[in-house]
């Protein structure tokens, strides 16, 4: 069924859950000519409950049989006090309001590796996830399986000097804004600014046209309110950003509610109005590209892929404007939100670890001097910069969790990693058509894999040979760009963009300090975090996650200009 038809799916499910048992009871009563009278309503309710319970028992019995045949055991289940574990769901929803990111979930690294790589053929994105994302992401690369990556792959399968020209242009504009604020001793809301930087650079890269969000009004200290993720501005750019972020938040809420989320949106899809705003930005660009393609075809002009934008490349592969727009929107999500998030957390770590900043800046000056831009060769030789980026990606991967679903056949997981003692050594049985959440953020902070200091920010773990050897022997313990057949196509682009920006930033500034006094109300870590375990004990920002990781309420920072190289 088309994922957009979630209402039809819900009605079909309700028929099997509610109406079919009512029909069966009606037929039974008709055959026996028995009349229930005033007991009719409670009898029907009881029969629906009995029907569902019997189905669940039968399904579990069949799964136990399959598991035994495969030499496996069922996955342990949380059992709440209310039917359907509704009490557990409500407790989780309450916990999300003040919890540290993903602190109520756990995940096994060996199982993650199986889902992404070694057992990849057993899994796909599945109808449930596509249904939640369909209004926003449609037929794009992040909402489809199998051959939908083939169109994009050739465009990202190379490094281009042109990318660096784009980086330089938008780094210069971004740093000009920061320099202006710094000269007036004004803080900057970096999460918002980095989102503009990455979006403008991405739009140039993808469309050949700048969306020019860096020219829009910036958040103002003590005046700007908190938006769905970070800061909220009231201009045209603000409307796009808010729509983009609210749509992601809605998708996340649907995932938390689970199977029955369509009940809450049966009469109105919460993402329709947000997506309408987004399409108003993208549709004119798509139409211009298709018109340019028609003119080029008429003139017999064919450009090599190295000279095309991604939009032109898409227009050459299809005339469907919706398919083109969906692919563009998916790429915008990847190139804006993920890279902006990592740059935000890089700045956070440079602010709270001035020793790391000093060493990183020394390496930048040693390889690039005070004015020269970074090059491919520079980045290959700047080992400490790569270590800092990787350590940031380890602690705060831009996509902290993801979902897959088993296909039409069950499978068996490999043995677990050493995180937890397992009293039963049999592997876990995974039923068919069952969703599974895997969590890079937790895997990458697992003490069993990374040592007792797994929660600490320590770039040295990426330089010391004995610590690198552990990762080399088990690459799946670090997967911020995913792994296996669906590994991120833009991984090199992201590394290059972040490295280029850091070079330019550290050539101008040598210190960064958090301006927490300007954080909007409700965006600082709750006091109760200090009594908990893990990073939340000493975190100075509130990490949160929708489709991607972000800092709740944005992050205000003061930049301090370097007095000398």
Q: Which residue ranges are tagged as binding site for heme?
A: 488
Helices within 235-382 (DSSP H only) = 236-257, 272-299, 310-317, 321-332, 339-352, 354-368, 376-381
Extract the tokens encoding 112.
């993650």
User: In the structure, how many helices (H) and strands (E) does the chain have?
Assistant: 21, 13
Annotated binding-site ranges: 488
Extract the tokens encoding 356.
């790391």
What is the rounded CA–CA span in Å between residue 481 and residue 448? Answer: 21
Handedness of CA 286, 291, 296, 297 (dihedral sign): positive
Polymer length in residues for the chain: 565
Extract the tokens encoding 44.
């029907």
The one-character DSSP state at 75 is P
Q: Which residues are registered as beta bridge partners of 402?
A: 438
Asked whether 112 and 479 are in contact (CB, 8 A), the reply is yes
Nearest alpha carbon to residue 540 among 476, 457, 438: 457
Residue 265 φ/ψ, nearest 5 degrees: -135, 30
Please give the C-alpha separations between residue 375 and each of 154, 164, 165, 200, 381, in angstroms, as whole numbers.
23, 8, 11, 21, 10
Q: Which residues are registered as beta bridge partners of 412?
A: 429
- In this structure, how many other beta carbons lie within 10 angstroms of the beta carbon of residue 418? 14
Please, which contacts does 150-158 make with residues 24 or more away whose CB atoms are closer than 8 Å?
151/313, 151/314, 151/317, 151/318, 151/327, 152/310, 152/327, 152/331, 152/489, 153/489, 154/305, 154/313, 155/305, 155/308, 155/310, 155/313, 156/489, 156/490, 156/492, 156/493, 157/489, 158/306
Q: What interhelical angle do 40-69 and 20-32 show, nearest 10?
A: 120
Nearest alpha carbon to residue 398 among 511, 268, 496, 494: 494
What is the rounded CA–CA span in Å between residue 7 and residue 10? Answer: 5
Asked whether 330 and 143 are in contact (CB, 8 A), the reply is yes
């Amino acid at each position: 069924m088309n994922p957009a038809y979630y209402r039809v799916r819900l009605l079909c499910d309700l028929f099997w859950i509610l109406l079919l048992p009512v029909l069966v009871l009606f037929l039974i009563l008709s055959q026996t000519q028995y009349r229930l009278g005033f007991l009719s309503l409670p009898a029907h309710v009881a029969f629906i409950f009995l029907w569902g319970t019997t189905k669940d028992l039968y399904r579990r019995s069949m799964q136990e049989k399959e598991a035994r045949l495969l030499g496996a055991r069922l996955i342990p289940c949380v059992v709440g006090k209310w039917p359907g574990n509704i009490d557990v769901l409500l407790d989780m929803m309450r916990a999300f309001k003040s919890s540290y990111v993903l602190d109520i979930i756990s995940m096994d690294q060996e199982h993650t590796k199986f889902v992404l790589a070694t057992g990849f053929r057993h899994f796909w994105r599945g109808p449930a996830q596509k249904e939640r994302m369909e209004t926003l992401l449609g037929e794009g690369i992040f909402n489809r399986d199998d051959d939908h990556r083939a169109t994009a792959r050739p465009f990202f399968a190379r490094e281009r000097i042109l990318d660096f020209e784009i980086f330089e242009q938008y780094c210069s504009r971004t740093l000009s804004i920061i320099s202006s604020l710094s000269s007036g001793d004004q803080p900057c809301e970096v999460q918002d600014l980095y989102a503009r930087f990455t979006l403008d650079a991405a739009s140039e890269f993808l469309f050949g046209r700048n969306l020019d969000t860096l020219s829009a009004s910036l958040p103002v200290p003590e005046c700007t309110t908190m938006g769905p993720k970070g800061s909220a501005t009231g201009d045209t750019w603000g409307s796009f950003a808010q729509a983009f972020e609210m749509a992601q938040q809605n998708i996340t809420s649907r995932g938390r509610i689970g199977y029955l989320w369509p009940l809450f949106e049966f009469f109105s899809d919460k993402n329709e109005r947000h997506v309408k705003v987004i399409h108003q930005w993208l549709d004119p660009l798509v139409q211009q590209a298709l018109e340019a393609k028609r003119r080029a075809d008429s003139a017999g002009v064919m450009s090599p892929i190295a000279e095309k934008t991604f939009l032109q490349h898409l227009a050459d592969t299809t005339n469907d404007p919706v398919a083109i727009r969906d692919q563009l929107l998916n790429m915008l999500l990847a190139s804006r939100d993920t890279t902006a998030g990592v740059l935000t957390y890089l700045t956070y770590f440079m602010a709270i670890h001035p020793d790391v900043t000093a060493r990183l800046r020394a390496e930048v000056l040693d390889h690039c001097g005070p004015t020269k831009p970074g090059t491919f060769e520079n980045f290959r030789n700047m080992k400490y910069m790569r270590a800092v980026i990787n350590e940031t990606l380890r602690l705060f991967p831009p996509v902290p969790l993801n979902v897959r679903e088993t296909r039409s056949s069950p499978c068996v997981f490999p043995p677990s990693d050493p995180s937890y003692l397992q009293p039963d050594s049999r592997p876990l049985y995974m039923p068919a058509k069952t969703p599974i959440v895997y969590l890079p953020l937790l895997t990458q902070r697992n003490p069993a894999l990374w040592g007792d200091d797994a929660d600490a920010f320590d770039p040295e773990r990426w330089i010391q040979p004995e610590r690198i050897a552990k990762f080399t022997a088990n690459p799946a313990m670090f997967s911020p760009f995913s792994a296996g057949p669906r590994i991120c196509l833009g991984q090199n682009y992201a590394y290059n963009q972040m490295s280029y920006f850091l070079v330019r930033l550290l050539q101008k500034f040598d210190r960064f300090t958090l301006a927490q006094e300007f954080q909007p109300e409700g965006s600082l870590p709750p006091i109760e975090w200090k009594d908990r375990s893990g990073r939340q004990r000493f975190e100075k920002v509130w990490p949160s996650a929708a489709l991607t990781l972000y800092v709740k309420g944005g992050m205000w920072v003061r930049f301090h200009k370097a007095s000398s190289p």
